[in-house]
Amino acid sequence: MYYLVGTGSNKRDIVFLLDGSDDSRNGLPAIREFIRRMVEELDIGEDKVRVAVIQYSNDTTVYFNLKTHRLKKAIIYAVRSLRHKGGRTRNTGAALQFVRDHIFTASSGSRHLEGVPQILLLLTGGKSNDDVSGAALDIKQNGVLSFAIGMKNTKQDEFSYSVLVELESPQRDVVFLLDGSDDTQSGFPAMKSFVQRVVETLSVGENKDRVSVVQYSRDPQTHFSLNTYKEKQNVLAAVQQLNHKGGKPLNTGAALDYVRKNAFTDSSGSRHQDGVPQILILLNGGRSQDDVASAAAALKQDKVVPFCVGTRNADILELQMIAYNPSYAFSVLRFDDMGSIHQQLVSFVKRVPRQQPRLKSHNVLGKNIYLS
């Protein structure tokens, strides 16, 4: 757990958001002990680590904010005194929005304007009764690194914790697969422009979003891999320099198989083993001359999430077969019209959740913590 919150003298603002609904009542003693032991390891201080504790159910209650306690012993005493809130409804989305609007603020002791890392640890016992996605996106856009920690009720006085997913992944591996056949030559500048527009919305970096571009016709060609560029401006410049490949026939099935075996691999920079979302964006202008079904199924089996954008000359049923689900297949009249679906595509891409990486059991501070 400590790789999330750190130890030592680094400055951090850490907010614990606790599920106080009726379902979590039995786990409160374990929750208190979990937080207490974690705080024991932190370098608490006004100019060091600050901690807040918030509890929610149908509504949200501030137990103490980031500026309430400056001493470790005061925080530990307050945590030991924590009482269960209660409430039948678990409104996690509203609670996330509350901490964004009222806790990660200067008036509540947040130092986000000074560049101090803002960390949210959500301990929740079940599915939310309201929508979480919009609030999670707002939290991320506010610069907060957020993690959800699921609580599995095992005994009256014991909870088992496992780090599930970041509320919205700050890391993605995105591979663009471009139709470079003879039929798309006139539309290739629009394809490049679309790729650049999508990349502009990403946070490109070695430990953030990674981007690769592959072009294909009869056979595929990698222009750059996921581990080639670490800066957004370098990705954008490389896309601008792309030349149309040309060639016939259009073998989309072979291209899908190629990216699965070559682009989404450790050696090419893929972080699939870490649970980072693996995203394929196919821009296509015609029907494939080979079979796509088996290659598409293999991609999904490997937990790759394909999105497809096709022109009027593409086979929409074929694209729906390739896409992760039919709503991830978009149809436009021509490549120049892709701007009309840009916002929706980006929205879908950013909602792709982290995969659960293979978990290893660790005994951390006397609790069962499962970390990848």
Q: Which two tokens stand for residue 266?
A: 């450790």
Q: Which two tokens stand for residue 167?
A: 């509320």
Query: What b/e string do you get for 174-192 counting C-beta neighbours within 10 Å, with b at 16 or more?
Result: bbbbbbbbebbeebbebbb
For the CA atoms of the chain, what is the radius of gyration? Answer: 23
Phi-psi region of 231 (alpha: psi -120 to 50; beta: other; left: phi over 0): beta
Tell me the C-alpha distance between 127 and 106, whole Å: 31
pTM for this structure? 0.57
Rounded to 5°, angle at Cα 81 from 125 and 54: 45
Per-residue pLDDT in tens (0 to 9) along the chain, 372 residues: 443 444 444 789 999 999 999 988 888 888 888 899 889 888 899 999 999 999 999 999 999 999 999 999 999 999 999 999 999 999 999 999 999 999 999 999 999 888 888 899 998 888 889 888 778 877 877 778 887 777 654 333 333 444 435 444 568 999 999 999 999 999 999 999 999 999 999 999 988 999 999 999 999 999 999 999 999 999 999 999 999 999 999 999 999 999 999 999 999 999 998 889 999 999 999 999 999 999 999 999 999 999 999 999 999 999 999 999 888 999 999 999 999 999 889 988 987 877 655 444 333 333 343 333
How much is the pLDDT for 372? Answer: 32
How far out from the chain centre does Cα 105 lie?
A: 23
Alpha-helical runs (H) found in 81-215: 92-102, 133-141, 188-200
Residues in a beta bridge with 17: 54, 122
How much is the pLDDT for 152? Answer: 56
CATH of 2-168+355-371, one of 3.20.20.70, 3.40.50.410, 3.40.50.850, 3.40.50.300: 3.40.50.410
How much is the pLDDT for 366? Answer: 38
Rounded to 5°, angle at Cα 22 from 16 and 27: 55
Please name the helix (run of DSSP H) or strand (run of DSSP E) that holds residue 166, with its range, or none.
Answer: strand 158-166
Strands, E assignment, 286-347? 304-310, 329-331
Phi-psi region of 303 (alpha: psi -120 to 50; beta: other; left: phi over 0): left
Burial of 367 (0-12, 13-18, 19+ CB in 10 A): middle
Tell me the C-alpha distance between 148 and 317, whole Å: 37
Burial of 357 (0-12, 13-18, 19+ CB in 10 A): middle
What would you measure as the largest C-alpha separation in the chain, in angstroms?
A: 72
How much is the pLDDT for 86? Answer: 93
Residues in a beta bridge with 152: 160
Tell me the C-alpha distance between 255 and 160, whole Å: 43
How much is the pLDDT for 353? Answer: 75
- Shortest CA distance to 164 belongs to which of 145, 173, 151? 151
How much is the pLDDT for 116? Answer: 85
How much is the pLDDT for 165? Answer: 54
> Residue 341 in contact with residue 319, Cβ under 8 Å?
no
Q: Which two tokens stand for residue 309?
A: 């954008």
Helix, strand, coil abundance in the chain, percent, nearest 5:
35, 25, 35
CATH of 172-350, one of 3.40.50.2300, 3.30.450.40, 3.40.50.410, 3.40.50.300: 3.40.50.410
Tell me the C-alpha distance between 51 and 200, whole Å: 34
Residues in a beta bridge with 160: 152
How much is the pLDDT for 63? Answer: 96
| Per-domain residue ranges of the chain | 2-168+355-371, 172-350
Residue with tokens 């919009």: 134
How much is the pLDDT for 78? Answer: 94
Tell me the C-alpha distance between 45 and 282, whole Å: 50
Tell me the C-alpha distance between 209 and 255, whole Å: 23
Tell me the C-alpha distance between 122 and 205, whole Å: 26
Tell me the C-alpha distance between 257 and 298, whole Å: 8
How much is the pLDDT for 350? Answer: 84
